[in-house]
Amino acid sequence: MNVGVLNESGKIENRAGLSPSGISLLVEHGHAVYVQAGAGLKAGYSNEEYSDLGAKIVFTKEEVFGRSDVVLNISPLNEEECKLVKKDQILFGFHHLAVARKVLVEELLKKNVTIIGYEIVQDEKGDLPFIESLSEIGGQMCLAISGQYLQTSFGGQGVIIGGVVSVPPATAVVIGSGVLAKSAIKSLLEAGAHTIALGNFMDRLRDLEEMTSGRLVTLFASKYNLARMTKIADILIGAVLRPGERAPIMITRDMVKTMKKGSLIIDLAIDQGGCIETSRLTTLEQPTYVDEGVIHYCVPNITSAVSRTSTKVLSNLVVPCLVEIGEKGIEQTLKRKQSLARGVYVFRGNISRKSIAERFDLEYKDITSSL
């Protein structure tokens, strides 16, 4: 099997599709790996590190797509890349089809491709291994981001997160109760922030309260409670996820208007459209903007800022899947690995996720009928 790794630095993406360790394992199993030159540079991996372990360095995206049976991408494919996709190719990556353009989806369907989205791979317990592994990283990063943008020199209120003697700590409000929220809550509490979590699942809120030994304030995410807590937040973190679907709007513009000037919003759901009405996409190069007097941080590929760690995590998760596909083929692998089958957006040119078919008004075909 031939595996291709794109260089996505042009899309302000620092992570790479595979680490050198992952490439070494694939080569050991007899697979060829084609890496576009420079793909790993921003993650700290040189072309030589890849080639020394058996990868073949190529110099254009055309070569990656032209030589590969499976192509790994991190950021969703752009228009140029969609045109380069080959017939019957397998595409692994963060595709976020729930917020994709219909014309690009139709272009890919014509090529009879199979599209597997890291963001919707789901195991029997309902856990999302790719998302949750990166969520641990993203949640921790919220502390560093908050500490920076609350500073006066960055337009913030000029407050410290943990407070000091005679001065209370900052108030951090986290919307959500999954792994991403859990990681952010843990980091903020350890820094001394007064932390409040709002969610819709009582069992998850109970687990969060037990995890924090009662230091966390938990509330049901009703409109009334969301409006009250938004008003007092110094830091507001949106960590709401609906796998494979657009994120719901939890915080309205009217709620944002009540926030303190110089407070901070971090919308971690921006990959899937954002859960705050005033959110719009930003980049690591220009990560923030001000709306209604509030600083907004809405970077979709937030873990790209710690690209080496993120690349290792993604590589560790995808390589076992690639090894099995190489040995047994895509059909048998999807039959055996239900978690991977749940991550299939498109199988051989047919949309296999009902919500995506409905969004684009296209034909839906259940994957079980295709295997």
Query: What is the predicted pLDDT for the residue at 244?
Result: 75
- Residue 28 pLDDT: 97
Is residue 96 among the annotated active site residues?
yes
pLDDT of residue 297: 98
Quick one: pLDDT at residue 97? Answer: 92
- The CATH number for 2-120+306-369, chosen from 3.40.50.720, 3.90.1150.10, 3.40.190.10, 3.30.70.3420, is 3.40.50.720
Query: 3-class DSSP state for residue 140?
Result: helix
Cα 341 from Cα 202, distance rounded (Å) = 29
Question: Annotated catalytic residue: which of 31, 96, 194, 296?
Answer: 96
360 in Cβ contact with 102 (< 8 Å) = yes
Structure token digits, residue 255: 């709620």
What pLDDT, on the 0 to 100 scale, is given for residue 226?
98
Domain 135-300, second-level architecture? 3-Layer(aba) Sandwich (3.40)
Look at strands 344-347 and 114-117 and give their pairing: antiparallel
Through-space distance between the first and last CA atoms of the chain, rounded to whole angstroms? 20
Report the C-alpha dihedral over residues 97, 102, 104, 108, rounded to 10 degrees: 80
Instruction: Please name the residue that has the structure tokens 């684009």.
Output: 360
Catalytic, out of 31, 234, 267, 271: 271
Residue 281, pLDDT score = 94
Reference 242, options 176, 341, 297, 339; nearest CA is 176
Question: CATH 3.40.50.720 spans which residues of the chain?
Answer: 2-120+306-369, 135-300
Determine the Cα–Cα distance for residues 277 and 283; give it in Å rounded to an integer.
Answer: 18
Q: Are strands 350-351 and 344-347 parallel, antiparallel or unpaired?
A: antiparallel
Nearest to 168 by CA among 192, 146, 144, 142: 192
pLDDT of residue 241: 82
271 classed as catalytic: yes
The H or E element that residue 355 is part of is helix 354-360
Regions of the chain with pLDDT less than 50:
none
Three-class SS of 155-220: CCCCCCCCCECCECCCEEEEECCCHHHHHHHHHHHHCCCEEEEEECCHHHHHHHHHHCCCCCEEEE
